[in-house]
Amino acid sequence: AVLLVGIIASQGFGMETIYTSVMIGGLLVTVLGVSGLLKHVRRFFTSNVIAVVLLLIAFTIAPTIQKLMIDSQSGISPLYNLTFAVGLVFAMLLSYRLLKGIWQATLIIWAAIAGSLFYLLLFPDSVIQGLYVDATWFSGFFRQMNLAFSIQPGVLVSFLFCYIALSINDLSSIQAVNEMLQTPDMDRRITRGISITGLSNIASGLLGVIGSVNYTVGPGVIAATRCASRFTLVPTVVILLLLAFLPAATGFIGSVPSVVIGAILAYVMVTQVSAGLMVAFQGNTGFRFEDGLVIGASILLGTLVAFLPGGVVGGLPPFLRPILGNGFVVGVASALVLPVSKAHIGQRFCGWGCQCFGSGTAIGRPR
């Protein structure tokens, strides 16, 4: 989403200028990853910040989930679509509780298949937007490559801001997974992960596609499937590589109704919220009143920015739009800045907070 904001803000400058900036931004991220500079920032990602990262992903993606669930372009009443989506979410939550083993781990796949069939049976007149009828069966790899390089200072500065935000996003995602799994080699994972992100963005700029970033809903997928093995990515990568050359197959997968996709995404975000709350309450010092202030303020700011109208975001200066127009970046930045004044906040609200929670007593920790 961060890179998409930069591309949308630079549409009037030509594709060569945009993808040249993507390549340079990828080079910047690669240097930050290889040099190991970002791993020194890891100490600032406390349990509160990690909790904010996990919770913000769910809250800031809420506008997208809302649009998918309503799907005003399907030709079906938004009320019917929303009712179906909410029902599917509750059915998935109930199934997660009842199913075990492989059935529980693959619940998302079965929900996509069953949800699509039921939706099409209930609403046969719905318009499916993702079905590419005219798509070819095979497509070459080197079509529409960007071999004409062009640098425009304003666009480049805008994308550098985007990639700074992307680096924070990337670091937050990797650190969130590290915190969930309690891995021993956290620094190496951060270095490798950010370096690969940078290299993939250099390749993306050359191939003329939007750059990649570590999947921010990864912790939610891990929590939903209860599987964190990296070896599961191998068959996934092979399948994605095959699909990349088969536009018709990609279009068929894209024909899953938006309402079903929104419901599945909502289910994944529910598990992500659960993971975020677990991290928040499992801190070494327990959960204190001022911790709630930091987490609450960060989530509120990020959510407010996520729901800003497009006209308000469009009115921001182009070089600040990727930062101030992204609720995830605003929320994470707030979570990093607010602990600096944490002691002052605690003293300011001590009179009220101590009455609520008891002097110096942490929630969720025995006295």
**Angle subtended by helix axes 62-70 and 289-306, to nearest 10:** 50
Helix, coil or strand: residue 287: strand
In DSSP notation, 62-99 reads: HHHHHHHHH-TTSSS-HHHHHHHHHHHHHHHHHHHHH-
In DSSP notation, 260-281 reads: HHHHHHHHHHHHHHHHHHHHHH
Q: Are 276 and 48 in contact (CB under 8 A)?
A: no
pLDDT for position 91: 95
Checking if the pLDDT of 123 tops 80, the result is yes
Checking if the pLDDT of 82 tops 90, the result is yes
39 — pLDDT class (breaks 50, 70, 90):
low
Contacts of 125 (CB under 8 A, 6+ apart): 75, 76
In DSSP notation, 290-346 reads: HHHHHHHHHHHHHHHHHT--HHHHHTS-TTTHHHHT-HHHHHHHHHHHGGGGHHHHH
pLDDT for position 111: 92
Checking if the pLDDT of 282 tops 80, the result is no
Task: Name the average pLDDT for the chain.
Answer: 77
Q: Are 333 and 165 in contact (CB under 8 A)?
A: no
Q: Tokens standing for 33?
A: 């990853």
Read off the pLDDT of each residue in 52-73 and give the average, rounded to a whole number.
85
β-partners of residue 363 are 287
179-211 residue pLDDT tens: 777 777 777 888 888 888 889 888 888 887 877
When mean pLDDT is compared across 74-78, 117-121, 266-270, 283-287, the lowest value belongs to: 283-287
354 vs 324 pLDDT, higher one:
324
Query: Model pTM?
Result: 0.68
Of 312, 24, 28, which is closest to residue 155 (Cα–Cα)? 24
Helices (H), 142-185: 153-181
322-335 residue pLDDT tens: 678 778 778 878 88
Read off the pLDDT of each residue in 231-259 and give the average, rounded to a whole number.
82
pLDDT for position 79: 93
Helix or strand holding residue 101 (H, E): helix 101-105
**Nearest-angstrom CA–CA distance, 250 and 295:** 39
β-partners of residue 287 are 363
Of 228, 226, 163, which is closest to residue 197 (Cα–Cα)? 163
